[in-house]
Amino acid sequence: MSLLGQSKWNVAVIGATGAVGREMISILEEKEFPVAKLRLFASEKSFGQTLRFRGQELPIEVLAKDHLAPFENIDIALVSVGSRISQEFLPLIAERGTVCIDNSSAWRMDPDVPLIVPEVNASALSGFRQKNIIANPNCSTIQMVQVLKPIHDAYQIKRVVVSTYQSTSGKGQKGIEELSKQTIALLNQKEIKTEAFPHQIAFNCIPHIDQFDEEGYTFEEKKMMLETVKILEDASIRVTATCVRVPVFSCHGESINIETERNASADEIRALLSQTKGLKVVDDPTKNLYPTHILGVNQDDTFVGRIREDHSVENGVHLWVVSDNLRKGAALNAVQIAGALSREFL
Ligand SMILES: NC(=O)c1ccc[n+]([C@@H]2O[C@H](COP(=O)([O-])OP(=O)(O)OC[C@H]3O[C@@H](n4cnc5c(N)ncnc54)[C@H](OP(=O)(O)O)[C@@H]3O)[C@@H](O)[C@H]2O)c1
């Protein structure tokens, strides 16, 4: 089905009941995305539920192989289910003509699937028809490449060392609930249950997100390392990461150390990032001004502060980045991709 010439789109949110899916629905409404008709999909568990969009209660439909006909009529699917479901269903949906924008890690490293942060590499979208699938990068990768891209263009990045401080909503609804329940239980001197995370998360930090590989890295760390190189299209950049879950509900923070080919002062980096779309520099130590996790909640922008030179290497800079993982890290980035598509390519 050709999408050319349309001014409104039939949109599906798949995984609508999840942390990212709910945020997608709210962003579609808030940004007045030109939706003709919205359909919502989730698992059998959610059958019978409704979710509100533009003042109307929309039913949740079950994503199932015998219920794919609706996709003949859907232009864009914003998908936020796990990798396994995504791998199973997206080819079936995409072959019906629906462009799938996927939040899972299932398709990110596929050479025929663009991996997109619109402010960074929108031009890579042009290849999306190969599979009719576009991947949203990992939430931690998105906020990092937003900062790395302008620095790389101006000063040529050689090496990046990143440590993350990631919120529990990064683990979806069950992550949000676990922090909440454990905090209440501990403050009431009751037993806690640990299900979503490998250890107690309330009043604790856990240096373990996703599974470990044979080298001792976690998949979350590997995603940041590999996705960054794909998005910046430069295999010479070396990236290493340590990912840590911290007991906050929203936003990921990242301490990023960047080594460049050409010398840059902290003031030059501050000026460069201040002019970059999607970033807001909050950086005045004399007034205790720097981004905290709370500052980023529900915001579209990614916040940068603590910009300083690193004199332990020839050309180095340190900085601190905070972004809302459910918004720019997932739902907002996906809606922005849909927006870029509808304007430029469809
Ligand atoms: N949370 C983040 O910050 C973040 C950021 C970037 C990317 N992502 C990725 O986005 C995806 C969703 O994450 P989330 O945080 O929103 O998780 P979540 O809160 O656990 O939501 C998962 C969603 O998937 C649906 N689902 C599960 N099994 C299904 C099935 N068999 N068929 C149809 N729908 C099914 C669930 O529906 P039911 O409610 O009916 O079970 C729910 O709507 C994951 O791949 C995650 O890695 C998340």
| Residue 169 in contact with ligand 1 by CB distance below 6 A | yes
How many separate domains does the chain show? Answer: 2
Over residues 101-121, the mean pLDDT reads: 97
pLDDT band at 345 (very low <50, low <70, confident <90, very high): low
State the average pLDDT over residues 105-113. Answer: 98
Q: What DSSP letter does each residue of 75-123 carry, written as one string? A: SEEEE-S-HHHHHHHHHHHHTTTPEEEE-SSSSTT-TTS-B--HHHHGG
How confident is the model over 248-258, as a mean pLDDT? 98
Are 73 and 46 found together in one domain?
A: yes
Give me the mean pLDDT over the 6-15 stretch: 92
Q: How confident is the model at residue 70 (pLDDT cuts 50, 70, 90)?
A: very high
Distance 109 CA to ligand 1 centre (A): 20
Q: What is the CATH number of the domain that holds 252?
A: 3.30.360.10
* Predicted local confidence at residue 338, as pLDDT: 95
The residue to mutate among 80, 101, 209, having the most atoms of ligand 1 within 8 angstroms of its beta carbon, is: 80
Q: Can you tell me the mean pLDDT for 280-294? A: 98
Q: How far apart are CA 343 and CA 346, in angstroms?
A: 7
pLDDT in tens, 309-319: 999 999 999 99
**Domain span at residue 275?**
140-325
Atom 25, ligand 1: which residue's CA is nearest? 15
Based on the fold, state whether residues 257 and 175 are members of the same structural domain.
yes
Q: Would residue 3 count as lying in a domain?
A: no
pLDDT at 133: 98
CATH number at residue 48: 3.40.50.720
Task: Mark whether 178 and 279 lie in a shared domain.
Answer: yes
Q: Are residues 164 and 292 in the same domain?
A: yes
Residue 188 lies in a domain: yes
- 343 pLDDT band, cuts 50/70/90, is confident
Q: Are residues 317 and 334 in the same domain?
A: no
Closest CA to 273 of 252, 295, 258: 258
Question: What is the average per-residue pLDDT within 66-89?
Answer: 97
What pLDDT score was predicted for residue 86?
98
Same domain? For 191 and 318 the reply is: yes
- Tell me, yes or no, if the pTM score tops 0.75: yes
317-335 pLDDT per residue, tens? 999 999 999 999 999 999 9
Ligand 1 proximity of 85 Cβ (cutoff 6 Å): yes
- Asked if residue 67 has its Cβ within 6 Å of ligand 1, the reply is no
- Ligand 1, pocket-test mutation among 41, 51, 66, 81, most atoms within 8 A of CB: 81
Q: How far is the CA of 340 from the centre of ligand 1 (A)?
A: 24
pLDDT(346) > 70: no
What's the gap in Å between 331 CA and the centre of ligand 1? Answer: 12
In this structure, are 257 and 310 located in the same domain? yes
Both 165 and 270 in a single domain? Answer: yes
- How remote is the CA of residue 80 from the centroid of ligand 1, in Å? 5
Contact 78 CB / ligand 1 (< 6 Å): no
pLDDT of residue 288 exceeding 70: yes
Mean pLDDT confidence for 106-130: 96
Q: What does the mean pLDDT of the chain come to?
A: 96
The answer to whether the CB of 202 is under 6 A from ligand 1 is no
Q: Are residues 336 and 273 in the same domain?
A: no
Measured over the CA atoms of residue 193, residue 165, residue 13 and residue 96, the dihedral's sign is negative
Per-residue model confidence (pLDDT) at position 1: 36
Task: Report the pLDDT value the prediction gives residue 3, as an integer from 0 to 100.
Answer: 47
For the chain, percent of residues with pLDDT exceeding 90: 96
Residue 122 neighbours by CB under 8 Å, 6+ apart: 116, 340, 344
Is the Cβ atom of 25 under 6 angstroms away from ligand 1? no
Distance 89 CA to ligand 1 centre (A): 14
Summarised one tens digit per residue, pLDDT across range 173-185 is 999 999 999 999 9
Question: Token digits for 199?
Answer: 């250890």
Is residue 251 flagged as an active site residue? no
pLDDT for the residue 342: 78
Mean pLDDT of 66-82: 96
| Same domain? 254 vs 131 | no
Whether 5 shows a pLDDT value over 60: the answer reads no
Are residues 149 and 115 part of one domain?
no
For residues 161 and 18, membership in a common domain is answered with no
Is the separation of the CB atoms in 319 and 276 below 8 Å? no
pLDDT at residue 7, as a whole number: 83
Specify if 4 maps to a domain. no
Q: Point out the catalytic residue in the list 100, 251, 252, 293.
A: 252
Measured distance CA(100)–CA(91) in Å, rounded: 9
Does ligand 1 have an atom closer than 6 angstroms to the CB of 330? yes
252 a catalytic residue = yes
Residues 132-154: what's their mean pLDDT? 98
Q: How far is the CA of 73 from the centre of ligand 1 (A)?
A: 23
Selection from 252, 56, 92 nearest residue 164 by Cα:
252
Q: Is residue 309 part of a domain?
A: yes
Q: How confident is the model at residue 2 (pLDDT cuts 50, 70, 90)?
A: very low
With a 6 Å cutoff on the Cβ, whether 338 touches ligand 1 is no
